[in-house]
Structure 1
Amino acid sequence: MKVLFAASEAVPFVKTGGLADVIGSLPKELAKLGVDVRVILPKYHDIPEHFVEQMEQVVAFQLQMGWRNLFCGIRQLVHEGITYYFIDNEYYFNRTGCYGYGDDAERYAFYCRAVLDAIQHLDFMPDVIHCHDWQASMIPVLYRAHFSYQPEYAHIKTVVTIHNLRYQGTFSKDAFKDYFALGDEHFGGYALEMHGGASFLKGGLLYSDYITTVSPTYAEEIQTPYFGENLDGLLRSQAHRLTGIINGIDYEEFDPMSDPRLEIHFRDSLVKKQQSKMKLQERLGLPVNKDVPLIALVTRLVDQKGLSLIDRVISELMALDAQWVVLGTGDQQFEQLFQWAANTFPDKLSAQIRFDEPLARQIYAGSDLFLMPSLFEPCGIGQLIAMRYRSVPIVRETGGLKDTVQPYNEETGEGTGFSFANYNAHDMLYTVERAVQLYREPEVWSRLMANIKKKDFSWRKSAQQYAALYENLQSAEAAIG
């Protein structure tokens, strides 16, 4: 089984969010199952130089995009046993960052076209092209329109994975007609049309052979108006070829026993966990006290992450006998909120308004509790890393948070964290209060640690589900679509 992952970012080359973690770790687990999986990415300016130096030029060719005749180079690099291809065009990709440019429609139109054109120049003809998020979602449309009738391409199946339905790649219809050379029949209501323009993601959902998203609960949620981002009707109509497969984390990359960013390594030792906390308290300028619970947020500071709930009850949260650390960047209102809290309650909260991966690992290792009160969360990776580093999650019951955190039950002793259902600041406050209270009951905390220890959030099970999906798509009796 040959599978080509098409995505706009991947660890360790370039990262803006959780998508990069998935693309950096899932292929390695699929390879263990015997899948020949390769990854194709844009060659961005920000890729570290030591990786660029290792890349080999595979081919260079001219690519037709609308009326444009464009240069396309393909470079290749093998990293941790996985072959990565990089699409090279300096005009489109030799810039700082990945997204947010005025010509993003044209840049990712080029990327989608280049993926399909490149295949004939590689020594790799995929059985499945697995497209991730909007940036790669026009690949199934282009495949159906321009490639599916070519004999050497005819067997290929396409899968689209929604990592976050909010981001849909919606641009003007004129741009789509220009870049993709598609006729008017592609722009009716039941086609690419979206909000008067056209959408990369909608095209992928309609023209792919199968749709996945990153947790079973999110797969259900996006079929409702509240979570569906104006695509819930389409997704309900395609429910027969939509499934949710939970994301995992790379257990070798995220391992408190060997993480080079940690001074103290541990697995299940509460003593060493507390030593990690005291090191962190000292570094952050918080009072050093192993008995005070330390609550962490490592997140993008945006509304999706539930930060307006924290804003609503910030004084009550600061009144708890607990310490807080916040790491992340984002919307100015939330950056200012946490800076204000750090200035007003310097013994209670440390605000680290930056992106700092080594510090993030130290916070996972040193915190006792990890708060994710998200408005919506397709999967979430923070709660999985937190449990791996034995920090107990406090989450809202939505998307992947609901699928991965089992609420603690004092009567049965079951559960791996704390949760609340309604998007309500006082429900969150009550849940945080309960978690802080139970932290001071050693028997409860030991039970929580034992329950978390039994959980497996590696990619193993999820990779098996993806491999089975690819096999089903390729088998003759699969009648999907």
Structure 2
Amino acid sequence: MKQFKLLYLASELSPFAVAGGLADVTSALPKALKNLNQEVRLMIPKYKSINERKYVLREVIRLREIPVTVGSQTAIASVKSAFLPDSKVQVYFIEVGDFFARPGIYNDPKTNQPYPDNAIRYAFFCKAAIETLKKLSWQPEIIHCNDWQTAFVPVYLKTLYMGDPFFKGIKTIYTIHNLTTQGEFDVEVAEKIDFDKSQVKKGGMFYKDGKLNLTKAAILFSDFITTVSENYAHEILTDDKIGFGFREILEEKEDKFEGIMNGVDYAVWSPEKDKYIPFKYSKEEIEKKIENKKAMLLRLGMPFNEDVPVIGMISKLTELKGFDLLLEVLDDLLKEDLQLVIHGDGERDIAETLLSYAKKFPKKISVSVTYDEKMAHLIEAGSDMFLMPSKYEPCGLNQIYSMRYGTIPIVSPIGGLFDSVDDIDEESGLGTGFVMEDLTAESLLKAIKRALAYFKNKEKWVEIQKRIMEEDFSWDISAKRYLDIYERVMTGDEI
């Protein structure tokens, strides 16, 4: 297997700085690539929230006081280094002026609104990453960028740094994790990030729907584009609502666009090893799972009954995650013999409505409008079913986590949910979860009732649990697919 020098560039990384699923991917894929004998390094911003003492960040003397200029501004970058926990993957934390010395990653926690200078912040991060490579005298063969915060790199390398011999031959891969955030900004931002306003006019590399669009530019300038599941890639090219009008742009890339299912780090998400759950268990000891159910309900102040199924949800409380569908059927659902545990933050009106139900039916529904890592693991281990009625889910990870915990998923038929969950057949019992027929409240209620009916047959239920715990979505599989793309990009072979 050929060894590559890879720089993995992202705006978040577990456990250092977490805002969503991107942080898990950024942590797991480089480790899987390292295990495949690749030379891989990571770069992320040095956010204020990162605990330097806890993670043993060390100064790198030659990476101090690097001047970085973007537009008319110059800031000083300094870089610290550490290793990803339980790995030999080196991480560089880039501090640029005071751009990342704020309490939030992307948003101001007081207002929950994006920082108004986010485009400039991440332009500085990307420029600083490029300059850091020169100071290190380390030339990667491939720079793998993730979402709009890193979109500047493929653009800068093929424009501002085009004549710099240090970067000659470096290829860029750009992964779209979620098109709901594309890096859209006002036209005036162009000059602040080193480009002329003409590039935000029709025909310009940044122009899309009257805005400056960083994702569009990254797609145009990258050597290959990936996204996080095969079905999501298909949806982007066939459904303008899901693809946000990127079909034509991506079709121009011909065969240089591919969906690769995200994997799971089973060292973190596995009931045999999970450090957050009180009772570890395996497929052979599936009976111990119920102890986590007891512990979870006790923590939430809810009654325990072995014969009453618990449906867990860990999600942003938004319509895109299907909560409007859930609210439409919640009155009918609560008439059933079940308990519902919801964990996550999001839209205030949805949260308040759910909290009102929890107040009215405290024995049947629990709602925690927050995110707690330990509780998330306990919900996966303690629930009997896991509900994801999403209207938009590029990959989804919780349905995959759930399978390993013997927690049977109930999902909508979109994105990565469609790729990863096979509907359970009524006659044979084969399948890995309950898939909604379509994106309607009626279909959601029907899928849940199917699951509740199956739960009553304990023998069948345990059989399904043991089967789904054998499903393998490890990163090794996905990492090998990325290596295949790296090799073809480097050799110039047609994909």
Matched, 1:81 2:75: no
- Partner Cα distance (1:123, 1:152) in 2: 9
CA shift, 1:424, in A, is 0.1
In structure 2, relative to structure 1, the CA distance for the partners of 1:33 and 1:353 (3 Å cut) is: same
Residue from 58, 69, 72 that aligns with 1:67: 72
The amino acid of 1:236's aligned partner reads E
Matched, 1:29 2:32: yes
- Partner Cα distance (1:328, 1:69) in 2: 39
- Partner Cα distance (1:47, 1:353) in 2: 23
Taking structure 1 as the reference length, the TM-score comes to 0.96
| 1:336-366 alpha-carbon deviations (Å, 9 max, x no partner) | 1211111111111111121111111111100
- Partner Cα distance (2:178, 2:301) in 1: 36
More off after superposition, 225-234 vs 319-328:
225-234
CA shift, 1:185, in A, is 4.8
Residue from 179, 186, 193 that aligns with 1:165: 179
The aligned counterpart of 2:158 is 144
Residues 96 and 125, structure 2, Cα contact 8 Å, conserved in 1: no
CA shift, 1:233, in A, is 2.1
The aligned counterpart of 2:11 is 8
CA shift, 1:479, in A, is 5.1
SS at match of 2:387: strand
SS at match of 2:165: coil
The aligned counterpart of 1:408 is 424
Residues 147 and 154, structure 1, Cα contact 8 Å, conserved in 2: no
More off after superposition, 116-125 vs 6-15:
116-125
Matched, 1:101 2:106: no
- Partner Cα distance (2:494, 2:147) in 1: 24
- Partner Cα distance (1:187, 1:120) in 2: 33
The aligned counterpart of 1:478 is 493
Residues 138 and 201, structure 1, Cα contact 8 Å, conserved in 2: no
- Partner Cα distance (1:479, 1:151) in 2: 26
The amino acid of 2:275's aligned partner reads P
Residues 133 and 162, structure 1, Cα contact 8 Å, conserved in 2: yes
Matched, 1:230 2:237: no
Gaps of 5+ in 1: none
The amino acid of 1:184's aligned partner reads S
SS at match of 2:91: strand
Identity of aligned residues (%): 36
SS at match of 1:120: helix
The amino acid of 1:321's aligned partner reads D
CA shift, 1:301, in A, is 1.0
CA shift, 1:437, in A, is 0.8
Q: How many residues of Structure 1 are paired with residues of Structure 2 in the alignment?
A: 479
In structure 2, relative to structure 1, the CA distance for the partners of 1:135 and 1:282 (3 Å cut) is: same
Residue from 324, 349, 354 that aligns with 1:333: 349
SS at match of 2:75: strand
SS at match of 1:376: coil
| 1:411-470 alpha-carbon deviations (Å, 9 max, x no partner) | 223101000131100100010011011011123212312321331011010000011111
CA shift, 1:261, in A, is 1.3
In structure 2, relative to structure 1, the CA distance for the partners of 1:33 and 1:52 (3 Å cut) is: closer
- Partner Cα distance (2:414, 2:438) in 1: 9
- Partner Cα distance (2:49, 2:105) in 1: 8
Residues 159 and 210, structure 1, Cα contact 8 Å, conserved in 2: yes
The aligned counterpart of 1:259 is 274
- Partner Cα distance (1:78, 1:20) in 2: 15
- Partner Cα distance (2:302, 2:55) in 1: 41
Gaps of 5+ in 2: 107-113
Residues 198 and 204, structure 2, Cα contact 8 Å, conserved in 1: no
CA shift, 1:52, in A, is 6.1
- Partner Cα distance (1:114, 1:54) in 2: 18
Which residues of 2 match residues 62-461 of structure 1 at below 5 A? Answer: 62-79=67-84, 80-99=87-106, 100-182=114-196, 184-185=198-199, 187-189=201-203, 191-223=205-237, 224-268=239-283, 269-461=285-477
Residues 380 and 401, structure 1, Cα contact 8 Å, conserved in 2: yes
| Runs of 4+ that moved beyond 6 A | none
CA shift, 1:267, in A, is 1.1
More off after superposition, 427-436 vs 449-458:
449-458
- Partner Cα distance (1:261, 1:78) in 2: 22
In structure 2, relative to structure 1, the CA distance for the partners of 1:293 and 1:239 (3 Å cut) is: farther
More off after superposition, 237-246 vs 44-53:
44-53
RMSD: 1.5
- Partner Cα distance (1:305, 1:186) in 2: 32
- Partner Cα distance (2:223, 2:196) in 1: 20
Residues 200 and 212, structure 2, Cα contact 8 Å, conserved in 1: no
Residues 357 and 365, structure 2, Cα contact 8 Å, conserved in 1: yes
| 1:76-105 alpha-carbon deviations (Å, 9 max, x no partner) | 212321111111124200001111111111
CA shift, 1:138, in A, is 1.6
Taking structure 2 as the reference length, the TM-score comes to 0.94
- Partner Cα distance (1:181, 1:169) in 2: 15
- Partner Cα distance (2:148, 2:254) in 1: 19
More off after superposition, 210-219 vs 420-429:
420-429
The amino acid of 1:82's aligned partner reads V
